[in-house]
Amino acid sequence: MPQDALSVQNVSHSFGRFQALKDVSLAVPKGGFTALLGVNGAGKTTLFSLITRLYNSTSGRIEVAGHDLRREPGAALARLGIVFQSRALDADLTVSQNLTYHAALHGIPRREAMSRAVDVLAQVGLGDKMDARVSALSGGQSRRAEIARALIHRPQILLLDEATVGLDVKSRAEVVELTRALTRQGVSALWATHIMDEIRPEDGLVILHKGQVLAAGKTAEVTGGDDLTEAFLRLTGEQA
């Protein structure tokens, strides 16, 4: 069995008495694009907070590229790139300054960081924006710069938490397509969203609802040929 880029097994999490995640298990295969679909409050951000160790996971097991997050946190986190729901770039710095600062946090020497910044910005279609201030970028360009930042330490998996929030339809489609293109180049992606039209039949799909995984597999298999919205409403018992 090839090792998964991310494996989450039997993870639960509570805020006081409220259980936000209930025995969640999922896997993201290497080089795959997997959508984590759930409405607001489903538990997507809580799950990402556990995978990134913002919250301490006390149950189950999380592995990043085969590295146990609890036993080998450094090795696991080094293989993880994250694009947060809220903006994480310093708007007053240039794109390359943001990227090299992030690279320094990962212990990458400056010269190497500059060379990687050139490469990742070309990968996300921002080759001409190295010296632009982040405040001068459009919403879509800014999100692509965040993806470049998340790639600079060469992670094996990207976690993207509602990465298209606030973007217009065209920029939204570009950011999803960029992420799919990156997965074809080898990095894996877990794409958290509540927007059905961001998901394709060939994508992996995990439906998270009220803290529980209701279905997982290839999207076309989960929907059984139905429209995704219909399948989602059927599985969750929600009304249209």
Ligand X SMILES: Nc1ncnc2c1ncn2[C@@H]1O[C@H](COP(=O)(O)OP(=O)(O)OP(=O)(O)O)[C@@H](O)[C@H]1O
Least CB distance from residue 218 to ligand X, whole Å? 22
Binding mask 134-173 for ligand X (x = CB under 6 A): ----------------------------x-----------
Q: How far is the CB of 171 from ligand X (least distance, A)?
A: 19
- Binder of ligand X out of 1, 17, 18, 239 (CB under 6 A): 18
Name the minimum Å distance from CB 89 to ligand X.
20
Site membership for ligand X, residue 15 (CB under 6 A): yes
Of 204 and 211, the one with the shorter C-beta distance to ligand X is 211
Binding part of the chain for ligand X, among 43-51, 134-142, 152-160, 232-240 by CB under 6 A, reads 43-51
Instruction: Choose one: 38-46, 68-76, 115-123, 224-232; the region binding ligand X (CB under 6 A).
Output: 38-46
Q: Counting contacts by CB under 6 A, is residue 219 touching ligand X? A: no
Give the 3-state secondary structure of the chain. CCCCCEEEEEEEEEECCEEEEEEEEEEECCCCEEEEECCCCCCHHHHHHHHCCCCCCCCCEEEECCEECCCCHHHHHHCEEEECCCCCCCCCCEHHHHHHHHHHHCCCCHHHHHHHHHHHHHHCCCCCCCCCEHHHCCHHHHHHHHHHHHHCCCCCEEEEECCCCCCCHHHHHHHHHHHHHHHHCCCEEEEEECCHHHCCCCCEEEEEECCEEEEEEEHHHHHCCCCHHHHHHHHHCCCC
Contacts with ligand X by CB under 6 A lie at 15, 18, 20, 38, 40-46, 162
